[in-house]
Structure 1
Amino acid sequence: MIDYTDGEIHDVVVKELRKFSDRRGWLIEIYRSDELPEAYLPTMSYISETLPGVARGPHEHVDQTDTFGFVGPSTFRLYLWDRREDSPTAGRRMIMEVGEEKPAAVTIPPGVVHAYKNVGPKPGWVINCPNRLYAGEGKKEPVDEIRHEDDPESPFQLVD
């Protein structure tokens, strides 16, 4: 089992997001095609709601890059583990809090295991803009996902 050390992970893009507010409400740009490498550009998007105390993941992708938008209305603890053998940060773990108080877009390349947990007091929303279609064109291909959350021996544990 790998003993992960804490620190930044190569190729993970963390972008603090700016909220533009006016009398109608607010707007946040999650990604722009002129700010991400072409290989990371999204092909679809979805939004999910996660209840307080609930985690999603850890899991990883072989080919897919995820660009998550954490904008609230809650706070998430995001966990990342670099298990790419050819990465200069292989064996590194990143943990950060993002969401309502600290909006961020986080781009996670293939081979980086990821999970997030709603650590706030209310349901929170996460927008994902992956660069691959879920289950491929027409949902006819295998899902690109390796799940670790049901393995009690997994090195990818969510610590508080």
Structure 2
Amino acid sequence: MEINGVIVKELEKFDDMRGWLLEYYRQDEVKKENYAVMSYISLTKPGMARGPHEHKEQSDYFCFLGTSVFKIYLWDNRINSPTYRKKVTLTAEKDKPLVVIIPPHVVHAYKNAGKDAGLAINCPNRLFRGMGKNQAVDEIRYEDVRDCPFVLDD
């Protein structure tokens, strides 16, 4: 079950006596239109969610680091897409890092379904609020919309 244009990639974690190393972004493995222009990290507490929202122009490049279990919810909101209105739920398992690249107008959310606080990194292809943070945020937020059609089921 897929959504057109969404890329999901399992990552290899390299463990040794010092800890672990994880390559989560390599420009030679990403299409040019998805090259990162910034990066941020978030910690999500157990039971908490981020989203749902969508972007008009931005693609997100999320990496779930394997520090907890995350449910990732995707809804194709692109009228001309062959997978329009399709919903997909992915699971990023603890100790199983996962990259999910989400194109514009694919509504997305994620929830920490684990027992531990979880880390996620995003390397989007657009700057938040543009150069110098002087532009409107490229985001349609559904979190607080009454009767929102994009529901996170547990």
TM-score, normalized by length of structure 1? 0.93
Query: What is aligned with 2:141?
Result: 147
Q: Report how far residue 100 of structure 1 moved.
A: 2.1
Matched, 1:38 2:36: no
Which runs of 5 or more residues in structure 2 are unaligned? none
Task: Judge conservation of contact 1:70–1:100 (CA < 8 Å) in 2.
Answer: no
Deviation per CA, 1:71-125: give whole Å up to 9, x if none: 1311110000001011111111110110423210000000000000000001100
Match of 1:3 in 2: none
Structure 1, unaligned stretches of length 5 or more? 1-6
Instruction: Give the Å deviation of 1:45.
Output: 0.4
Rounded Cα–Cα distance in structure 2 between residues aligned with 1:14 and 1:32: 14
Does residue 1:52 correspond to 2:46, yes or no? yes
Give the equivalent residue in structure 1 for 2:124: 130
Letter in 2 for 1:119: A
Q: 4+ runs of 1 displaced by more than 3 Å?
A: none
| Identical residues among aligned pairs (%) | 55
1:119 aligns with 2:113: yes
Which whole-Å CA distance do the structure 1 matches of 2:140 and 2:36 have between them?
20
SS of match in other structure, 1:34: helix
For the aligned residue pairs, the C-alpha RMSD in angstroms reads 0.9
Deviations 1:11-37 (A, max 9, x none): 000000100111211111112111111
How many residue pairs get aligned? The number is 154
Aligned-pair CA distance for 1:152: 2.7
Q: State how far apart, in whole Å, the 1-side matches of 2:9 and 2:23 are.
A: 10
- Superposition pairs of residues 39-118 of structure 1, within 5 angstroms: 39-118=33-112
C-alpha distance after superposition, 1:36-95 (max 9, x if no partner): 111011100010000000000000000000000001311110000001011111111110
2:23 aligned with 1:29: yes
Distance 1:99 1:136, change over 3 A: farther
In 2, Cα distance between the equivalents of 1:113 and 1:101? 26
Provide the secondary structure at the position in 1 that maps to 2:132. helix
SS of residue matched to 2:152: coil
